[in-house]
């Protein structure tokens, strides 16, 4: 009687160990997928930060060209995109301000 009780207990414990091992493998695979997705998102964020610098420099150069060449169509395009170009005596040194993320683009500036 004692022998069958021990055998039954060992079988139950072995089945529980197998169940836990399979559960652990499932969690490892799920964790690997989540980690991969997180790494991709982190890489995207890092690349976006790098591209923002390039984008800012490009907009500044376009604004500078619009001011220097007195290109009204290019100025209007920048204004429609939400950038404000402030002309001062040192217009070449003046940089356009970036649009606010929640602000609506301002209407085109009137010329005199």
User: Whole-prediction pTM value?
Assistant: 0.45
68-to-42, 55, 62, 90 alpha-carbon distances in Å: 39, 20, 10, 11
Angle at which helices 72-80 and 2-68 cross, to 10°? 150
- Sequence spans of domains, the chain: 40-99
Q: Are 55 and 82 in contact, with CB atoms under 8 Å apart? A: no
> What pLDDT is attached to residue 17?
97
pLDDT at 112 over 50: no
> What pLDDT is attached to residue 13?
96
Tell me how far apart the terminal alpha carbons of the chain are, to the nearest angstrom.
106
Banded model confidence at residue 92, pLDDT cuts 50, 70, 90:
very low
- Quickly tell me which residue has 């197998």 as its tokens: 18
Q: How far is 6 from 4, CA to CA, in rounded Å?
A: 5
């Amino acid at each position: 009687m004692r022998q069958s009780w021990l055998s039954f207990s060992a079988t139950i414990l072995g089945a529980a160990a197998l169940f836990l091992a399979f559960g652990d493998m499932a969690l490892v695979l799920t964790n690997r997928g989540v980690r991969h997705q997180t790494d991709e998102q982190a890489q995207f964020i890092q690349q976006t930060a790098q591209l923002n610098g390039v984008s800012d420099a490009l907009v500044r150069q376009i604004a500078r060209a619009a001011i220097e060449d007195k290109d009204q169509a290019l100025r209007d395009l920048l204004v429609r995109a939400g950038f404000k170009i402030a002309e001062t005596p040192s217009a070449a040194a003046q940089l356009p301000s970036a649009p606010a993320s929640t602000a609506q683009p301002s209407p085109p500036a009137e010329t005199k």
